[in-house]
Every structure is written in structure tokens, then in C-alpha cells.
Structure 1
Amino acid sequence: MIKTVTVIDTFGFFFRSFYALPQHLKNKDGFPTGLLTGFTNFISTLQKQHDSDYLIFAIDTKGNTFRNEVDPNYKANRTAPPEELTMQLPIAIEWIDKMGYKTLGQVGFEADDLIATVVKHAKEKGYNVRVVSHDKDLYQLIDDGRVVVVDAIKRKSMDEDACFLKYGVTPKQFIDYQSILGDSADNVPGVKGIGKVGAEKLLVQYGDLDNIYANIDEIKPPGIQKKLRDSQDEAYMSKVLVTLRDDILEEFDFEEYKMDVEHPFLNIYDELVQYEQNAILRVLHAKNMVSDEAKEEAVLRVEEVKETKNLDFKATLITDNEELQKVLQALKPETIVAFDTETTGLDYEKDKLVGFSFSFNDDEAFYVPFAHFYLGVPDQISEKDAALAMKKIFNSKVVGHNIKFDLHFVSRFLNDDMLNIYSDSMILAWLINPESALGLDKLSDKLLDHTMLGFKDTVKKGETFASVELEDASKYAAEDAYITLKLFNLFNEKLKLQDATHLIDESQNVEVPFITTLLGMEKDGIRVDAEFLEVFLVEVKETLLNLTKTIYEQAGTEFNINSTKQLGVILFEHLGLPVGKKTKTGYSTDENVLSSLKDKHEIISSLLEYREIYKLYSTYIEPLLKLSLEDKEGRIHTSFVQTGTATGRLSSKNPNLQNIPARTSQGLKIREAFVAPEGKKLIGIDYSQIELRLLAHFSQDAVLVDAFRANKDIHLQTAIALFGEEEAPSKRAVAKTVNFGLLYGMGQKKLSETLGITTKEAKEIIEKYFESFPTVKTYFRSIVDNSKEMGYVETLLKRRRYFDYETASPMFRAAYDRESVNSVFQGSASDLIKLSMNKIATVIKEEKLNAKMLLQIHDELIFEVDADEAEMLGNRFKEIMENIYELNIPLEASMNIGDNWGKLK
């Protein structure tokens, strides 16, 4: 199920609303209301459509941006907006927050940069994006099937075709189009004397700005050539000004912007009355959402709601050690204590602890500062006393929310890697519903009806928590611990009410120990050979250069290889290859199209190789080299995300090491950069066909069970069943695709595309498969039926994933059928490897083995061990993995030892 993000160019939308609606609209006091009316109409439409999962209001902040450093004249001559507009703007901005939505802004950048950043993160997650704006600067983000720009006033969407029809260039060319054209409103100079038609012609012919200037000598007429030469510096400066930055935020939590506000207008009811938003008021009254008394006393009602909404607790600041010791005396080994840290930042290797908070009752939470630093800061607890206090707290049953983060800082501060934790409220929230928002503030607002203090409201821009005054810091920090404890208690009750108390045990026995396992892996990191990457980088650049020359020779002419328009002309007009897909923006040259032409011309293989290597260069080699050089030991420390997927499969970030390519020789070579230090070896242990073995275990299909128990080649056995003894060896790869594809809901259309056969042939193969393995089809059906009846499926360890069939559309119901089956197998495979990791981590720690568990890549574990113990330890770890859980068929794993990751296959 693909999620949709709606991101609003907020000020641009407000300006558009102001000018689109009658400007004479005013309330009885003469206050202008046109902009506010447009805004409420827009929110009402969004509420009715229910077609967005996340809603983000991107805003500009006061002051200059980085573009003013590039050109001090940027936006210097903009005229002030009308007073009627500026009167309404702050009200509309306040309404966003009051209605329960969130704005996104950052000093030094424009809203458009933040929108570009959101789009990048959304695309990485596979989400669709609607950018609500009338600003053509955002057309560069358009990406058919994933990103469209929407004019909310005209209710029109701008996709690639619409962009091309309007401007004669594609979205990918829009930056260069604006670089030539300039923008007088923003003081973007462009190329003086060249207008829309000239810019369009140049880009149609040469593809992009670089290629225009690379071929400047041949450009005609001479007048255009002269204008380009005279304005070359301005053109490239313009390109910097109009190019949107998409790297403003390293991470982005979409769950913070979840569009789950049920009745947004009730929160601003009194203001709707004040500014006479009668259309919205009529709807609220017609639905009886507002009582007569509330209508008469709107302002009082809202104020009372604000006063009574939040939980009442005491935030106590402790700056005296004697007072701290008195409080700590109440803690016993069985006491449940919620614990949270405050730090100077998010990087545990560079940032420092500032203080900590804790709570162990329903009435009070405490904040202990010891490293705040600002002019006039009062006395604080000493670091020594703070350390002793934390050790005392960790003798009780400590609960945190995403406590792995806190443990990184605390374990370094205390120089203690043996800290015990009891539970994590974020883990419990994930176990209750693995697709829910997991942020503390979101959970508090939704489940406790308590709006927490915001970080940005507590910490000033450009400062850290160390600069926050102690009283303010105490309110913010103590609240974190207090809410964590409230949620922990609530979640335990929820699990009981869901008849899922077994998940409390699963949390205690598996998930919480797994936090400690991941913590150790993150701290250890994996060694990367920077010299290897530097050499590889040079080699890759040389390869790209040679490939470029080869492609030019094969094409018989030079062109911009990265320009899809120019490439399309070369392939389908110049070389006369058969056209696959063509749109109004030109010929399609995507990977599927190129792959279908492999046998038609030698250039195709060169082009596919060029694209693959260019991606490796920009996405992997350069970033990994940079990270390795930043660490004194040359080790890369990824962050593992335990709650990042609904199935339970582990993910990683900063960097993402789950997707290091392995399909091509060049991709595999990147893995050679991950190395064992001198005197060490890497071990790779990979579960063999884990999900198919789980299928045999769950379904009890006699043919599958027999094949695995007899250690037969399961794919060959499937090929025999589908195609007969004689054809089986040559059809093994087809059988493998079918075996794994059906576990992930692959239908006949996808199978036909994957195997390059007709849909009729694919249908026949699927039917034959289920005839050969009848129990499998029955079992698949039972998963879906139980999911519909119970509302969830369960993994091997009884973790649940919920599916709301009752309210789902037919399209979503079909997706739920596929995902319910997938969740059982992928989730159960995740259970098994998680159990193995915990057991191996315990063995390493208890026996003080010279071994480190470094990575988990889906069904594979990678270790670093002393070279002379590699064989022995590898066999031991392999044995643990194969015997971690008793299935009715044997678990098997393969082991490889090498000096680098690339040699573990």
C-alpha cells in the first residue's frame, strides 16, 4: 500500500488564496477574511478526500538564506505584500498548529528547499508526493508516478506531460531552463536577452546547460552565441540560485506529520465564529458537532479545553546532591523507573550528556542537570554525583522510549556496557501496532490527550540543550520521563485488553535484549579500507570516461549520455532502434526499455553498464569513503532501526548498509572495501532458503517437508513438479523465481514480466504449482481468511500485524491479502535471526570471545574474529543459528570466511 505525502508551499498557497478569492471579503468588524476563507476551504477539501497519509506545511523563516551569500541582490527588490494579506498571514499560520497540523521551516533555507528535502526522503521510502503550490520553481521536483505539483485553487495537477506542454522542457531540464531564463521577481539574472522560446530551443537541442556551453562554438545564430558567452557567469550563478537543496534534513520522520486529525475545525471554533467562516460553521452545525452552549460561549469553551487537556504532574528540578540522594532512596530493585537523557546533539561519539530525567510515580518527575552552560547558570549536580545517581537508577527496572539512544550516551559516560534495561515504551507501541506513529509526542497527544512541550520551543535556534535555563529544561526533560512511564503502564494494559499478554513476554525475552545486541553492533562498527575506495574511485572515474568514449563511437556522434531526451533521439532516430515507450516529453529510456533492446545494438550494454557504474560512484563509493575518513579507526557506524518495518525486518540508516549492491561485479567490489583489520577475519553466515523452510513448517506440505528433510534441492524439486524430470535442470531458475515470488504475492502479470513470458504462460505455471503443492494453496488461503476474521496475522513468535479489512477499498483489500501472507514469512524469518543474534551476542559477552557481530543483512550475519579462531567460531555460531528454534524441518546455514565482505560469497 503506497502512502501519499501532501506538502504545502504554505506562503505561496496563502498568497494564491488571497488573490484568487474576492479581496472584499471581510467580517463584521471590517477585518479581511479572503485568505482565511481559502485556507479553510482547502482544509475542508483535504478532510473530505482522505487521500493523504501525511500533511506538511513548509514555511519560510525570517532572515537571509544561503542564496543571499551567493548573490546579495537575490529577492532584494521584492515589493511588500498588501496590508490585507499580512493581517491574515499570522492568523492562518496559528491555525495550522491549533488544528493539530505541523509546520516545517529552517533558518537559512526557503520553504522550497524543505519541500525538495521532504520529496527526496519520501521517494526513498517509496511514497507518492503531492506538492501544493503555484510556484514553477518546484517543477524541477516533478517525477511521473511519484511527484506531482498541484494548483489547489484551479485543482489541477502538473505532471511531466503538463510541464512539457506548458514550457517545452521536461522537469529534469527545468533548473537549466530557469538558469537561462532568469526570474526578474527574485533578481535571478539568467542569460540576458534570451527568452522562453530561445531557452526551450537550446535545451531541446543540447539537453542541459553544461552541454550548451560545451558546444558554444557551434551555436547559431551568432547573436545567441554572444549572449550566452557574455552571461556565462550569470547563467551558472542563476543555476545555483534556482536549484533546490534536498539535503537540509539528514532524517525525516513522516509519522510526526501523520494526517490523523479527526476534527481540526473544532480546535479553532471560536475563531471561525470571529472571522465568519460561515461555510465551515454550517457543516459543523449540520453534523451536530457543536452544542448550543458551545456556540454561545465559543471562546470560553476553547480556553477550558486548553486548560483541562494536559496531564497534571510536578516537574522537580534537582541541583543539590543531598536532595537527589533522598529521592533515590525510594528506589528498590523492583521499582519501575522511566529514564531519559538530554544531550548536546544526536551523535553519541561527538555530543555530550547534559542531564537526565526520571520518574517512578504518577505525580512527579525529576530532572538532574550537570552540564548546562550559559551565563549565570546556577550550581548543578557534579558529574561524579550524576554518575553515581545513574548507576543507582539502573539497579532498578529502567524503562525508556527509544532507550538505545540514551544507552549510547550513558554507557560511554559511565564506561559501563553492562547496563540492564527492563522495557522500552516505543517497542511496546510497535508490538501493539507496528504501523503506528512511535514518537513520544505523537503517542502522548493521541493516547494521553497531552500535548508535550516542543523541542524547538525549548531550545533556541543554533543552540543546544546545554544553553536552556534550568527551570525550562526541567519542565521539558521531566515531561519526557513522566510520559514514558504513563505510556509504559498504558501499553501493558492495552496488550492485556488485546489478549496479547504474550507480547509482554516477547518484549522482555526478545526485543529488549535485542536493543543491547544492536547497541554493541553500532558501537563496534565495521572497518572500511579508505585506500581501497580511493583507488576504486579513480578506477570508476576512468571506467566512466572509457565507457563514454565507447558509447560515442557506437553512436557515431557525441551527446549528453545523462540527457534522456538526447539519448532517445540517438537510439530511436539516429540509430533507428525500435521504440518501446514514447510520451509527449520524448522517448522513454528507462532500464526496462534499454533491457528490452539488449540484442538490438551493442550500445545498449554499454549504456546499462554506464548507468550502473555512475550510480555506484555517486550513491556508494563517495559517501562511504567520506564516512570512513571521519573515523579515527576507519570504521563505519550505522544505526540499526528495530521498529522500522511492519514485518520486523531490521533496517539501518546513516549509512544504509542493507542495500549495498551485489548483483554486478562492480557492485560486489564495493563489498571488498569492508575489511577485517590485520590479524582478523570476517565470517559470513547466511540462512539457506529460510522463508521456504518456514513455508514447509507452517503448511506441512508433504512434498516440501520431504524435500527439506531429505536435503534435496528444493528449486529442482519444484522444477520437476512443474516441468518434468527432463526439463527440470534447465528450468531450475524459473522454479526458484516461482518459489520465492508466490511468498510475496507475485501474480501472473508480475511473473510474466520477471520471466519474460506471456501472462497466459505465467498463469499456467502458477496453476501447475498449486496443483503440485495443494497444501500450500490451502495454507495461503487460511492466512488471508484468518487475517480477515481476526484482523491480524501472527509470526513465529506471535508478533502481530493488523489489517483493517472492514474499511478498506477493494484495491487495499487485495494489497492486504498479499501483505498478510508476506508478513507471516518475512516476519517469522526476522524472528529467527533476531533470536540467533541475541544468543550469539550473549555467548560472545559471557565467554569474552574475541569476536564482534558487525552486521545483519536480511538473512545473513557478519562477524569479525581473530584469524586463528575463525573456523572454530564460525562453526559454533552456525550451529547456534541452525538450532535456535525447533521447526519440523531442519534449519540450515552456509558459512564463508574471508578478509573482506566481498569474499563471503
Structure 2
Amino acid sequence: MSKTVTVIDTFGFFFRSFYALPQYLKNRDGFPTGLLTGFINFISTLQKQHDSDYLIFAIDSVGPTFRNEIDSNYKAHRKAPPEELTMQLPIAIEWIDKMGYKTLGKVGYEADDMIATIVHFAKEKNYNVRVVSHDKDLFQLIDDGKVVLVDPIKKKVMDEEGCLDKYGITPKQFIDYQAILGDSADNIPGVKGIGKIGAQKLLAEYGSLDNIYANIENIKPPGLQKKLIESKYAAYMSKKLVTLKHDVLENFDFEEYKMDVEHPFLNIYDELVKYEQNGILRTLHAKNMVSHETHQEAVKKIEKEIQNSKKLDFKTILLTNAKELDRILSFIDKDTIIAFDTETTGLDYENDSLVGFSFSFNNTESYYVPVAHFYLGVPEQISRDDAAKAIRKIFDSKVVGHNIKFDLHFVSRFLNDDSLSIFADSMILAWLVNPENALSLDKLADKLLNHKMISYKDTVKKGETFAAVELEDACRYAAEDAIVTLKLYRLLLKELELQNAAHLIQEALEVEFPFIKTLLKMEKEGIEVNSSFLEQFLVEVKDTLNRLTKDIYKLAGREFNINSTQQLGVILFEELELPTGKKTKTGYSTNEQVLNSLKDEHKIISYLLEYREVYKLSSTYIEPLLKLSHEDKKSRIHTSFVQTGTATGRLSSKNPNLQNIPTRTELGTKIREAFVAGKSKKLIGIDYSQIELRLLAHFSQDKVLIDAFNHDRDIHMQTAIALFGEEEASEKRNIAKTVNFGLLYGMGQKKLSDTLGITTKEAKEIIEKYFNSFPTVRAYFRSIVDFSKEFGYIETILKRRRYFDYENASQMLKAAYERESVNSVFQGSVSDIIKLSMNKIHKTIVDEDLKAKMLLQIHDELIFEVDEAEAEVLGERFKEIMESITELKIPLKASLNIGDNWSELK
């Protein structure tokens, strides 16, 4: 599902809120609060909807804009806003920052231009955009399926149809409509004497302003023609004034505006009390009520907890004396909860090294121990031996870290000891509280503790490492990390209790935290790559690219930069004159969807598609893998697994990403050939068979599905028989397979019709027939949706949660929630089961010192490297663990393959 960006026309929204709510709203000091109340209500609604990935507050800049250079009269006579409004504005703007959100503005431009620029970048990424505004100037941005306007007061969504109903023209005509009509409020002249009806009629007949003037001699009556001729200059100047700039910024990083839905109001709690925002205060208190306590007791308790969570008065203490370090550590024992963090020369645990470490075990002090700082005049530091002794002492206690897997890589290498135990990870706790949280330490501190952390870039000079940071500066930065981790750990445990999800604390202790060690071991092991094979493959790929390049040049009639979308657009749509949509400022779109739609138009298209596939695999996989293999002494690739990278719980991997190598292409298969077993070793691949469908049978208790799996029947054939009958079942098994898996992941009739190349009517009939054949499945899907609507979340097989809120959601959003709620149950449960299997296999390997290494997890498959002589025995043993890891109403099945390289495991 595409990500969603919500952009707020900030001042427009504030003005609208001010006039929408009663002007008599004031606090006990007589300060007006209507605007503030509207703003808080709006943010509260956003929090409930959970329907945005990014939230941006677009603001106007102070002073004149480029439009004043076009016409000095632009907005020249606007009245000053009421004093009650201007009193509240700075407070509301300050709240945006305090709550953890961000504004976006630029000198010389208006908020509308910032919004148009955001829309431009969002479309490039195929994101959906919701523009919160009632400003008609923004109607020009509406693009069905991508950009809509939302009126937060009337709770109305405006799309192309709404624009047509309201103004009688399409969004694409809106600029020309405003150019003709003008706007007296902004001193935009337009065409004098032509109103809304006249503008509508002209655009309905001629389509655009340019076409109106191109046909000026044909326009009747003569009076209308005269008005247009006399106001031509004004019309085109007006068009310049109303046209929004979408290129204000050269680039835009949406990740800086990621929406974290966790408790923004805690950061302005005192001000909510001051301005008597009692509605949201009651909500905060109610949500944090603990069972079996009176309301008043709960309110007092929560108020105290909130205040305590905002207190971060602590001392940072530099420890450079071994005796003092030993004295401080004498206060901890095996039951002490102690936060721990490392500082290193970089992020590469294979090649970078430990510089120092910090720790904290109370709310008032945090310590930094420098070990390997290196600069002119550096004072004496703790010796390597004393540091090692201290770290071992710390890890004999209950160690908590934030993304502690990173720290473990460095300290385990520093100590040459893989047996260190950990107690908890605050990043994983934050993920369990809400799997769509922003999880970095600084963002969580900002959100939950109202504390701005010292930034790395302000501590470490560009081009240097942490080793060059002076000890006092290093202490302030590093010790802060430790105590913030400790505070977050305690606060997040409370958050889980307040969500009535205390069972997830136990899930974390039994599954998620042990899984850190499982992944740590896998990352350290890495997987061997055949460098010579990759080198030869790269030569072949470059030859293929050279051949394709020559073919493309020949078909194009000249040479050009094939990787330049602008140059390619000119070749395809201007020189070869292939059909295309409207040209934009950045050129023609030449994405994969566009090229696929042109397959039958010209022979060059198939060559371009092949070129892109080969080029992407070369640049994304072959060249980076070859580089990484050369950097490792044993030619092993060490990917990093991200435990908290998805809302469903599925693992992701990075540096490099080994989970996205194409599976169904010849080139993807050949890349897998490069991943090999070491000398006298074999690779083992064990892949869960149809695990999602088995979970469907288990959860739904559908008799037909349970019977099919219990008797080991071909489930896709059974479905094909149910849908198409015995005679057609064999030839239509693949259709049945698509339906089986597609419905689990929210595939509707449109997607099914596109996938199978059939009409939507036929797709609808197939889906209906499926649910009629498996009525219990339909009822089960419905039960998931009903549960998510009633309780606001779904649960996986291990009771992990993903949160949804249907309140105030559009019909489109509700449909998306329904699909994702079903999808999340299955994807999340699959990830739970694989984690359980991986943890048990890892423990078995370590406890019994087996000659085996778990290397990779790729979706439903685990890959191992084992001694050749024990491959069959160990493969069967690991397969048995995977099949028996949890008890379902039907058996779990896995397939076992053994080979010399990854491609042989399928």
C-alpha cells in the first residue's frame, strides 16, 4: 500500500479553526482559546486515524513573495486579523514543534507553494497526499487516486468529482478558471466583467485560457469578446499569480517528517492545563487508567507519572580512573537494571572499533568511560584491560540497551566473547508499544520525555570519528544516551501496561530479546560469496548492457543517456512520437508502468525494459556484492537484519538487502549462484510450505481446508475444483493459487483482474464463488475486521499488536484498514512462528556445539551452512524443529533442499 502524506495549510487551518469555534472560549485568565481548542481537536483526530506516514505543516514566509514582483498590488489591502487570533497563533505554532512535528516554509514563497512542492515530490515516490485546507487555490493540485483536499472542519474530502460539482470545471482547468475569475481578496484582477458562470461556460467550450484566446474571433456575444480582449494582459498576469510553484525545493526528505502517533500531547501537558484544554486532558487520563483503581486515583497517578517522565535532571560523569570506575561498579549486582551504550569509530562492526562506553543505573547520574580517544593532548584514559573488566561486570547485571545488537557486535569483539547476555532493548519495547513508532533514541526522547538530545553531528566534526572528540564533550553526548535509554525502558514498560498489553512484556522477554542474540550470530557468520563467479558475471552483464545500448541507439536513431529520464522522454515522445500524457516541468514520465503500456507501440520498449532490469541488478546487487566480498578476508557478506523494520514483524535486511533479489528471473537466479557453501560444507534451505494458508485453516477452522491439509492434498487443486470443477481444475490451478494467496493479502477484484488478465466482472465472480465454497473463511475474515474496528488493533499468534482506528476515516481508508488488518494477522503470525523456530534452532546449535551456522532468513525460508558429512542429518533435524515449533489444528510442513549454492536450494 502506498504511503500517505498529510500536509497542513497551517495558517489557513488556524484561521478556519478560529472562526469555526465560539469566540467566547477563554481560560480562567481571560486568554482566548478557540483557535487552540480547534488545533488540539484536529491533532487528536489525526492521532485516532493512524492514516498518515508523514505529517507536514506548511507555513507562509514573512515579507513579500515572488508574486509581489509580478504585481505590487498582490494582497496589498488585506485587513489585519483579529487580536484574539494573533494572540493564539504563536502559541499554536510553538506547539507544533513541542509536540514533535515540523513546519516547512521558505522566504519569498507562500504555504501553497510549499504544498505544491511537497505534492510534486510525493508523486515522484508514488505517495498519496491529503492536503488539509479549504483554500480554493489548492484545487489545482487535486489528482484522483493521489491528491485530495480535506476540510477538517466539515470533515469533507474533495476530489475531482467534488471539484466538478462545486465549480463546474476540472482541477486541471482550475488555474485558468481563477485567471479569468480573479480574486478580489488577493487583488488578482482576472477578466473584468466575467463571473463564475461565464468562466465555467468558456472553459467548458474551449478547455483552456490559451484556447479561448486562440479562438477569440469566434467568441460571442461581442461584449464577451471585448471583455476578454481588453483584459488579456490581466488574465495572463492573474494566471501567473494563481499558479502554484512546485519547484521551490531541489529535494525533499520525507523521513524528516515521519508521523509518530505516540502521545504528542504529553510534551505540552503543562500548557494544555494552562489553556484549559479539558477535553484532551480527560482523554489522556482515561486512556491511562489502570484497572481496579478509582478514576481520581488513576488521574493523580498518571499526572505524577507524566511529570516524572519529563524530568531528566542528571549529572554526566567522566570516569578516567580505574579505581573510581571500580568503586562505582561496586554498587551494582546481578539484579541491577543498567543501561549500556557504546561509542565507536563507525558503524561497521567488522572493521570499526570501540572508543568508549557509557552506563547508567539510577535517575540522577550517568557515566562515560573513554578507552580509545586519540587526539593531540588527550588525557589518560581507562586501559583496555580495565575496560574489559568493567564491561564484564556490567554484563553480569541486567543490561538494557537501545538497539543493543549494535553494541553487542563491538563489545563481544572487544572481549572476544560471544556469550554476553542481555536483559532488554528499549527500541524493541517502543516497537511493541506501536510497531509504526519512530524508534530512534533522539526521537523517542523528544516525544516521550520532552527532551532534546545532543546531536551526533554537533559532537563529531565532519570527516572525523568519535575518537577525535574531546573527553568532556564525549561524556556529555555518550552519558546522555545511557540515561535516556534507562528512562525510556521504564516508561515503555508502563506504556504497555496502560495499553492493557502487559503480556507483551513477557513476549519480549521470551521471544524478541532472545531473537537479538539469534540475529547477532547470523550477522557475524555472514555468507560466503564466490568473487570470481561475480566478476565473470559482471563481465557478461556489461556485455549485455553494451549490446542493449547499441540496439537502443539504433532503434532511437541516435545516442543519448539511457539512464536519463528526461533524455529518454524526448526520444520516446518527441522524436519517436509515441503516445504520452501531458509533459511536466521535469519532463515526461518514463517509469515502468508507462513503458509497459507502450510495449505494443514500438520495438524499442522491450529493449529498454530489459536494459533497466539488467542495469538495476548490476548496480544494486552484482557490483556492491563484489565490493563487499573483496573487503572481507573470507569473502563473506555480512548483512544487517532489522528486527523492528516492519509493522507486521517480518524481518528486513540492509547493507546489503538480500531479501529483494528477484526470485523469478534468470538474472536473479544467477545472482543466487554466487552465494556458496564453504570448503567441505553444504548449504541447507528449509522453506515453510504454504504457511499462510495453513494458518488460515487453523484460525478459520474451515472444515474443507483442515481436511485438505490433514490429508496432505494439493490445496490449490482443491480450490481449483471448488471454483472451476473437476474438468477445468488442472489447467486453472495457477488461478486458484493466485486467489488463495491474494485474498490473504487484501487482493480485491480490480487487482485480481489485472493479475489474471480478466475482466473485473469475472474477478468478482471468482471471489464470490471462493467465499461461497469456503464460507467459514469469509466469516473469519469478517471477524478480524470486526475485532479491529471494536478494539482498534489486531493480534498475531503471539498476541503482538498492530493498531488501527476507523473513527472519522474515509471509505477508502476504511477499506485499506480492512485489508491491512487481515494481512497483518497472517504476515505477523508467520513472522512469529519463524522467530520461534530460529530461536530454538540457534539455542540447539549453541547448546550442542553443532557444526552448523544459521546464515539467512528470507521471508519463509531459513538458510544454513553445515558440514557436508552432516548435511542430511542436520537438515532433517532443523526441519523437524520448524514443523513442530507450535501446535496448530493442521500440521506445519517445510521443504528441505541441500546444495552448493543458494540457487540450488529451490
Structure 1, residues 865-904: CA drift from partner, whole Å, max 9, x if none?
A: 1222222211111111111111111111111111111111
The aligned residue for residue 223 of structure 2 is none
In the other structure, the counterpart of 1:802 is 803
Instruction: For residues 355-384 of structure 1, give each alpha carbon's deviation from its aligned partner in whole angstroms, at most 9, with x where no partner exists.
Output: 212122233222222222333333222111
2:353 counterpart letter in structure 1: K
Structure 1 residue 314 and structure 2 residue 315: aligned? yes
Letter in 2 for 1:681: K
Following superposition, the deviation at residue 520 of structure 1 comes to 0.9
CA, structure 1 residues 526+123, in 2 after alignment: closer, same or farther (shift >3 Å)? farther
Q: Aligned partner of 1:355: which letter? A: G
CA distance in 2, matches of 1:357, 1:658: 34
SS at match of 1:726: helix
Letter in 2 for 1:377: V
Sort the Cα spacing of 1:845 and 1:306 in 2 relative to 1 into closer, same or farther, 3 A: closer
Aligned residue number for residue 817 of structure 1: 818
Decide whether the 8 Å contact of 2:99 with 2:265 is kept in 1. no
User: 1:864 and 1:721, CA in 2 relative to 1: closer, same or farther beyond 3 A?
Assistant: same
Q: TM-score, normalised by structure 2?
A: 0.69
Q: Which residues of 2 match residues 433-832 of structure 1 at below 5 A?
A: 433-550=434-551, 582-584=581-583, 590-592=591-593, 595=596, 605-832=606-833
Whether the aligned pair in 2 keeps the contact of 1:638 and 1:656 (CA below 8 Å) is yes
Q: 1:432 to 1:569 in 2, by over 3 A?
A: closer
Aligned partner of 2:870 in structure 1 is 869
Deviation at 1:765, TM superposition (A): 0.3
The residue type paired with residue 829 of structure 1 is: V
CA shift in 2, pair 1:490/1:730, >3 Å: same
Aligned match of 1:3: 3
- Note the 1:233-382 alignment, pairs <5 A: 255=258, 310-382=311-383
CA distance in 2, matches of 1:616, 1:146: 29
Mean CA deviation greater in 748-757 or 310-319: 310-319
For 1:799 and 1:263, the matched residues in 2 are separated by 25
User: Take 1:638 and 1:528, find their aligned partners in 2: how far apart are those partners?
Assistant: 12
For structure 2, the residue ranges without an aligned partner over 5 or more in a row are 11-35, 59-92, 105-114, 132-142, 149-170, 177-248, 281-305
Contact 2:686 2:863 in 1 (8 A): yes
Q: Compared with structure 1, are the counterparts of its residues 810 and 726 closer, same or farther at alpha carbon in structure 2 (3 Å cutoff)?
A: same
Q: 1:716 to 1:408 in 2, by over 3 A?
A: same
Specify the code of the residue in structure 1 equivalent to 2:742: G
**8 A contact 2:708–2:715 mirrored in 1:** yes
Aligned equivalents of 2:440, 2:816: Cα separation in 1: 27
1:321 deviation in Å?
1.6
Letter of the 1:899 partner, please give it: D
Q: Distance in 1 between matches of 2:861 and 2:704?
A: 27
TM-superposed CA distance for 1:425, in Å, is 1.0
Counterpart of 1:885 in structure 2: which amino acid?
A: T
After superposing the two structures, state which structure 1 stretch, 407-416 or 495-504, moved more.
Answer: 495-504
Mapped to 2, the partners of 1:545 and 1:787 lie a distance apart of 53
For residue 504 of structure 2, give the secondary structure of its aligned residue in structure 1.
helix
- CA–CA distance in 2 between the matches of 1:668 and 1:317? 54
Q: For the residues of structure 2 that align with 1:310 and 1:334, how far apart are their CA atoms?
A: 25
Shift in alpha-carbon separation, 1:256–1:345, aligned structure 2, 3 A: farther
511-520 vs 360-369, which moves further: 360-369
Deviations 1:603-639 (A, max 9, x none): 6544433332222222222222222222222211111
SS at match of 1:647: coil
8 Å CA contact 2:54–2:255 kept in 1: the answer is: no
Change (3 A) 1:774 1:375: same
**Shift in Å, 1:797:** 0.6
Taking structure 1 as the reference length, the TM-score comes to 0.69
Partners of 2:266 and 2:845 lie apart in 1 by 53
Is the CA contact 1:315–1:474 (under 8 Å) kept in the aligned structure 2?
A: yes
Query: Which stretch of the first structure deviates more once superposed, 681-690 or 545-554?
Result: 545-554
Structure 1, unpaired ranges of 5+: 14-39, 59-92, 105-114, 132-142, 149-160, 167-242, 270-283, 290-304
Structure 1 equivalent of residue 858 of structure 2: 857
Change (3 A) 1:56 1:548: same
| Partner SS state of residue 727, structure 1 | helix
2:853 counterpart letter in structure 1: K
Q: What residue is the counterpart of 2:426 in the other structure?
A: 425
8 Å Cα contact 1:404-1:516 kept in structure 2: yes
CA distance in 2, matches of 1:847, 1:525: 21
The secondary structure found in structure 2 opposite 1:684 is strand
Preserved CA contact (<8 Å) 2:662 2:668:
yes
Deviation at 1:479, TM superposition (A): 2.1
* Range that drifts further, 688-697 or 837-846: 837-846
1:259 positional shift: 11
**Taking structure 1 as reference, are residues 487 and 724 closer, same or farther at Cα in structure 2, changes over 3 Å only?**
same
Distance 1:788 1:556 in 2: 59
Residues 821 and 612 of structure 1: is their aligned pair in 2 closer, same or farther, counting only changes over 3 Å?
same
Q: Is the 8 A contact 1:748 1:759 kept in 2?
A: yes
Do the aligned partners of residues 6 and 377 (structure 1) sit closer, same or farther apart at CA in structure 2, a change above 3 Å counting? Answer: farther
Report Cα offsets for 1:37-96 as digits up to 9, x if no partner: xxx9xx99x9899797546899xxxxxxxxxxxxxxxxxxxxxxxxxxxxxxxxxx9999
SS in 2 for 1:730: coil
Cα distance in structure 2, aligned partners of 1:121 and 1:711: 50
Letter of the structure 1 residue corresponding to residue 489 of structure 2 = F
SS in 2 for 1:681: strand
2:684, 2:144 → 1: CA distance? 43
Give the counterpart letter for 2:756 in structure 1: L
Check whether the contact 1:503–1:799 (CA below 8 A) recurs between aligned residues.
Answer: yes
Q: Could you report, residue by residue, the CA deviation over 1:804-843 in whole angstroms, capped at 9, with x for unpaired residues?
A: 2224333222211111100000000001111111111111
- Mapped pair 1:394 → 2:402: no
CA 1:48 to 1:849, structure 2 compared with 1: closer, same or farther past 3 Å? closer
8 Å contact from structure 1 (residues 315, 366) kept in 2:
yes
- Alignment length, in residue pairs? 715
Alignment-derived partner of residue 109 in structure 2:
none
Percent of counterpart pairs with the same letter? 71
The 1-side partners of 2:125 and 2:888 are apart by 34
Q: Secondary structure at the match of 1:358?
A: strand
Q: In the alignment, residue 701 of structure 1 is paired with which amino acid?
A: D
- Find the counterpart in structure 1 of residue 226 from structure 2: none
Kept in 1: contact 2:262–2:437 (CA 8 A)? no
Name the aligned partner's letter for residue 643 of structure 1.
T
Cα distance in 1 between the residues matched to 2:98 and 2:491: 26
Contact 1:354–1:465 (8 Å) recurs in 2: yes
- Cα distance in 1 for partners of 2:494, 2:43 equals 32
Amino acid at match of 2:385: K
Partner of 2:217 in structure 1?
none
Q: Which amino acid aligns with 1:821?
A: V
Amino acid at match of 2:615: Y
* 1:842 aligned partner: 843
SS across alignment from 1:614: helix
| 1:663-709 per-position Cα deviation (integer Å, ceiling 9, x unaligned) | 21122111111112222221111111110100000000011111111
- The aligned residue for residue 878 of structure 1 is 879
2:732 match: secondary structure: helix
In 2: Cα distance, 1:57 partner to 1:472 partner: 34
List per-residue Cα deviations over 1:265-311 (Å, max 9, x = no partner): 99999xxxxxxxxxxxxxx999999xxxxxxxxxxxxxxx9999652
Aligned pair in 2 of structure 1 residues 462, 732: CA closer, same or farther (>3 Å)? same
Q: Partners of 2:52 and 2:687 in 1: how far apart?
A: 39
Inter-CA distance 767–526: structure 2 relative to 1 (3 Å threshold): same
